[in-house]
Chains A and B, each alone.
Chain A
Amino acid sequence: MSVAEPLTKPVLAVGGRFLLSEIGMQLRRRRNQLILAVLAAVPVIIGIAVKLTTHDGAGATGGLIGNITNNGIFVAFTALIVVIPIFLPMAVAVVAGETVAGEASLGTLRYLLAVPVGRTRLLLTKFAAMGFWCLLITSVVALAGVIIGVILFPSAHVTLLSGTQATLLGGVGRLVGMVLYAALMMLAVAAIGLFISTLTEVPIAAMAATLTVAIVMQVLVAVPQLHAIHPWLISDHLLNLADLLRDPLRVSGLRDGALLAVGYVVVFGSLAWARFTTKDVTS
Chain B
Amino acid sequence: MIRWSAPVAVAGVIALIASGVFSADANPNLAPQTAGQLLASVSQASTPPFSGTVVEKASLGLPELPNLGGDNSTNSQGLLSLLSGSHTTRIWYGGETKQRIALLDSLGEQDVFRNGRDLWQWDSDTRVATHAVLPAGAAAERPVPLQTSSLTPAQAAAEALQMIDSTTTVTTDHTGSVAGRSAYTLVLTPKDSQSLVGSVRLSLDGATRVPLGVQVFARGSDRVAFDVSFTQVRFSTPGDEFFTFNPPPNATVKQGTLDTLPQLPNPAAGSGTGRVRKLGTGWTTIMRIDGVGDLTGSKARAATGSSQNALTFLSALPTVSGTWGSGHLFSSALVNGLLTSDGRLFVGSVPPQLLYQAAAQK
Q: Which residues from chain A sit less than 8 Å from chain B, CB to CB?
A: 57, 60, 62-64, 66-67, 69-70, 81, 156-157, 159, 161-165, 224-225, 227, 239, 242, 246, 248, 250, 252, 263, 266-267, 270-271, 273-274, 277-278
Contact = CB atoms under 8 A, between A and B. Distances in A.
Interface in B65-88: 84-85
Main SS of chain A's interface residues? helix
Nearest to A231: B18
B60 to A, nearest CB: 12
A60 B252 CA distance: 11
Contacts of B120: 163
Interface in B122-167: 122-127, 129
A253 B104 CA distance: 12
Interface residues of B, number: 40
Given A57-B250, A70-B250, A227-B59, A267 B7 contact: yes
Nearest to B239: A248
A246 B246 CA distance: 15
B109 A267 contact: no
A63 B7 contact: no
B250 A69 contact: yes
Interface of B: 1, 3-4, 6-7, 10-11, 14, 53, 59, 63-64, 84-85, 90, 102, 104, 106-109, 111, 120, 122-127, 129, 231-232, 242, 245-251
A60 B213 CA distance: 41
B3 A277 contact: yes
A266 to B, nearest CB: 5
A224 B251 CA distance: 34
A157 B247 CA distance: 12
18 contacts: A60-B250, A62-B124, A62-B127, A66-B250, A67-B250, A81-B107, A159-B250, A163-B124, A163-B248, A164-B246, A224-B64, A227-B59, A239-B107, A242-B106, A250-B104, A252-B232, A267-B11, A267-B14
Contact of B1 (A69, A252, A270, A278): A278
B127 to A, nearest CB: 5
